[in-house]
Structure 1
Amino acid sequence: MKGPSMPGPTAPPVLLEAGAAVGGTAGQLTRLGLGDHVCLVYERPEEHVEALVPYIRQGLERGERCVYVVDEHGVGEVAAMLEAHGVEVERERARGALVFLTQRETFLRGGRFEPEAMIAYLHWVEEESLAAGFSGVCATGEMSWALGPEPTREALLRYETLLNDYLPGSRVKANCQYHRSRFPPEIVRDVLRAHPRVILGDEVHENLFYETPEMLLGEESAAKRVEWMVRQLKRVRESERELVLMGLRLSEQSVENRRLYEEARAAVRARDEFLSVASHELKTPLTPLRLRLQG
């Protein structure tokens, strides 16, 4: 299901802000930037396509190198999906802007999954991409490979926490894809705890359940966890307050628009009255002259 249409570029700033937050999937994804860590949790193929296509297209449009790690979907299938939605796959691959890799070339380099080695590889991809003239790296990976003997649940969780340490301040954004029906609830729960932003279906969510790496790994004190819980409660209330203020601003804008409309109507009436009087005043002295000319 597609979200509501985005307001046009001439809309008031408050509407543009609201549109980016709750508009269509492509509009919501524009809020993601380099340094962001997001996961896509999907259940239907349509949800997968609707989230991945604009993610890749926006990366290409921003001059980023898009790196796609395939697994559940093969290269041919992903390429056909992108082609069907207007991405010139062969041209982008030829210039190195679109790269397809396998889990053997990334997550399982060296034959086994090592979180620190994967972060080091991602850092190398970042440096190589920047040296090649790209503005950054738009990375996404199908995580279905994790259903095999590699990795352990603890290793996967550690990898996600290392990403949260590495990505901020980098020229990389990462989108981890999880087919929900294929993963046990325990893994999905950990995934939701490990990502600051989550794509569910066709919506991009600010994740209230996100926990810091220290909290996820059990290294955070009880006092720090209490502080986090309090911050989350305040965050929810602040979001509610912003919604109320947004409604008030829209109401004020509506009142102002009504006032301007009434002023415009009054100006039109005054113009019409002036033209009517002027026409009458001009006709009065011209009538004898017209009669004389007719005579």
Structure 2
Amino acid sequence: MSQDAGPSPQHDSLEERVEDAEPLSVESGLEALRSSSEFRGPVEPLDDVEANEHIALFYESREEQFSAVVPFVRQGLERGERVMYVLEEHEEDEVIAALSEAGIDVDTAVDSGALTFHGIDETYLRTGAFDPDEMLEFYGEALAAATAEYPALRITADTRWILDDQTTIEDFMAYESRVNDLFRGEDCIALCQYDREAFPSAVLTDIVRTHPHLIYDGTLCHNFYYTPPREYFEPDEPTRDVNRMLGTLVDRTEAKVELNETIEELAESNERLKRFAYIASHDLQEPLRMISSYLQLLENRYGEDLDDEAEEYIDFAVDGADRMREMVDGLLEYSRIDMQDADFEPVDCDAVLEDVVTDLQLRIEESDAAIVVEELPAVVGDANQLEQLFSNLVSNAIKYSGEGPPRVEVSAERQGDRAVFSVADNGIGIESEYVDQIFEVFNRLHSNDEYRGTGIGLALCRKIVRHHGGDIWVDSELGAGTTFYFTLPRATA
């Protein structure tokens, strides 16, 4: 099973890679999980945390196991490190399949020596029984060989072998203490795999206490219960452990109180900002109406005395005031979303779309648009806000239709307790580099001469969807159309 380390396919640049590589650390290991599509759980930041590069993975299924192991291995290969995988012999095919399905070229990595597989019999049980000295010698030689050719050594190992009749958990924990000394200050990181269903609770307790970082249930966190193995075996450890536990409780309680106070302050600040936006938007409307009215009155009364240039200036000013009023109206609608009560009720989306199409009938006829609406599910929400949402998306589809007649298709799929709606068009599309910007307030992709607007419509859509506890996103191809997707809670029958 063991794969001998052969020459790297980039052997001529190994020295440069070793010299330029960033030091391997716990943060590096966490980076793999943060950037992984397989690992869905939160990753706790490690600010001001001093600990060795040692992570324990507790898993209850193969999916949970590989969701952490695969990105850990892949990152090591991408960084040009040597990755050592210790596993049960009968599981090699399953492990290789999981790595391959995640896009890792296992054959190339093995042939180059970057990825090596090792069995329990040639590592932990080399002498037929667990011998800490033998194992430390093995890892010491592996570390020296790896760092002579690669920037770092990355190890992940299945640990179910310690449940054999000859190995004691005390021996293994003592060994763990010496491993920490071996790897301390070296470019090496280890991910130990523990099958929670296989280990007794008493053993799991010891494992928890002797690993500074834990992965469990899709979450990676700093271990508050960590006890450095060297301290773990000292006579006064029970007293030290009590002090540590009490200190942890105090620290966590103080942190929770501080967090709650911060949340309350942010909520109050947010409420003040919302009220300010509402009041400012509301109070700006009257001055803008006055500007437009007096400019038009000036034109009507003195029109015969004004030359063409003066008429043009007045038109510019009126148009600017009108556009400003439209923006203020949009801001007012935007600020009202959070000001309204969240007492939602069942909403018939078919009826909502019928009202939207009726209100847009003139624009539909003028543009010769085809609006196709499939049967839609009922949802829980605010009918007026949802009408705004659909109206903005359908009217945008008509506006940005390009030269041909617009075609807008509205449909929905049921996914559990949610409904995923889509509003698709055959319009001009959106360049991929801008799809993340279109939901920002006042962020417009076109000038007002090309397409008139305020830059608030899609921001309003996102706020309405989020107010209903949903998500909104877009899929678009330039010149081939755009589809907006959003989720809403379904109404129960």
TM-score, normalised via structure 1 length: 0.72
Structure 2: unaligned runs, 5 residues or longer: 1-33, 309-493
Q: 1:199 to 1:118 in 2, by over 3 A?
A: same
Letter in 1 for 2:57: L
What CA distance in whole angstroms lies between the structure 2 residues aligned with 1:274 and 1:98?
A: 74
Is residue 215–residue 225 contact of structure 1 (8 Å, CA) maintained in 2?
no
Q: 1:258 to 1:56 in 2, by over 3 A?
A: farther
Deviation at 1:271, TM superposition (A): 9.7
What CA distance in whole angstroms lies between the structure 1 residues aligned with 2:146 and 2:287?
A: 64
User: 1:148 maps to what in 2?
Assistant: 164
More moved, 230-239 vs 199-208: 230-239
Q: 1:273 to 1:215 in 2, by over 3 A?
A: same
Deviation at 1:81, TM superposition (A): 0.6
Letter in 2 for 1:127: A
1:112 maps to which of 129, 153, 165: 129
Deviation at 1:276, TM superposition (A): 2.9
Alignment of 1:1-295 (within 5 A): 25=39, 28=42, 35-71=52-88, 74-134=91-151, 136-220=152-236, 223-241=239-257, 243-244=259-260, 247-248=263-264, 250-251=266-267, 254=270, 258=274, 265=281, 276=292, 280=296, 283-284=299-300, 285-286=302-303
User: 2:366 maps to what in 1?
Assistant: none
Give the share of equivalent positions with the same residue, in percent. 30
What CA distance in whole angstroms lies between the structure 1 residues aligned with 2:155 and 2:147?
A: 14
Deviation at 1:76, TM superposition (A): 1.6
Deviation at 1:82, TM superposition (A): 1.4
Is residue 86–residue 156 contact of structure 2 (8 Å, CA) maintained in 1?
yes
Question: Matched residue of 2:124: which SS?
Answer: coil
Letter in 2 for 1:102: G
More moved, 219-228 vs 59-68: 219-228
Q: For each residue in 1:68-126, what CA deviation from the matched residue of structure 2 results, as whole angstroms up to 9, or x when unmatched?
A: 11117622210101111222222333333322211123212344322243234323333
More moved, 239-248 vs 71-80: 239-248
Is residue 24–residue 202 contact of structure 1 (8 Å, CA) maintained in 2?
no
What CA distance in whole angstroms lies between the structure 1 residues aligned with 2:257 and 2:111?
A: 49
What CA distance in whole angstroms lies between the structure 2 residues aligned with 1:98 and 1:30?
A: 28
More moved, 109-118 vs 78-87: 109-118
Deviation at 1:24, TM superposition (A): 8.5
Is residue 38–residue 195 contact of structure 1 (8 Å, CA) maintained in 2?
yes
Deviation at 1:288, TM superposition (A): 6.1
Q: For each residue in 1:266-286, what CA deviation from the matched residue of structure 2 results, as whole angstroms up to 9, or x when unmatched?
A: 898599559736853774454
What CA distance in whole angstroms lies between the structure 2 residues aligned with 1:179 and 1:277?
A: 76
Q: 1:264 to 1:155 in 2, by over 3 A?
A: farther
Deviation at 1:222, TM superposition (A): 5.5
Q: 1:39 to 1:258 in 2, by over 3 A?
A: same
What CA distance in whole angstroms lies between the structure 1 residues aligned with 2:239 and 2:168?
A: 29
Deviation at 1:263, TM superposition (A): 9.3
Q: What is the number of residues matched between the two proteins?
A: 269
What CA distance in whole angstroms lies between the structure 1 residues aligned with 2:287 and 2:155?
A: 61
Question: Matched residue of 1:233: which SS?
Answer: helix
Deviation at 1:140, TM superposition (A): 1.0
More moved, 85-94 vs 191-200: 85-94
What CA distance in whole angstroms lies between the structure 1 residues aligned with 2:44 and 2:111?
A: 26
What CA distance in whole angstroms lies between the structure 2 residues aligned with 1:245 and 1:168?
A: 39
* Structure number with bigger Rg: 2
Q: 1:66 to 1:91 in 2, by over 3 A?
A: same
What CA distance in whole angstroms lies between the structure 1 residues aligned with 2:137 and 2:293?
A: 83
Question: Matched residue of 2:136: which SS?
Answer: helix
Is residue 44–residue 220 contact of structure 2 (8 Å, CA) maintained in 1?
no
Letter in 2 for 1:48: Q
Deviation at 1:43, TM superposition (A): 1.7
What CA distance in whole angstroms lies between the structure 1 residues aligned with 2:218 and 2:207?
A: 18
Deviation at 1:241, TM superposition (A): 4.1
Deviation at 1:178, TM superposition (A): 1.3
What CA distance in whole angstroms lies between the structure 2 residues aligned with 1:66 and 1:202?
A: 23
Give 1 or 2: higher helix fraction: 1
What CA distance in whole angstroms lies between the structure 1 residues aligned with 2:110 and 2:197?
A: 31
TM-score, normalised via structure 2 length: 0.46
Question: Matched residue of 2:135: which SS?
Answer: helix
Give the alignment's Cα RMSD to 1 decimal. Answer: 3.8
Letter in 2 for 1:94: D
Is residue 34–residue 171 contact of structure 1 (8 Å, CA) maintained in 2?
no
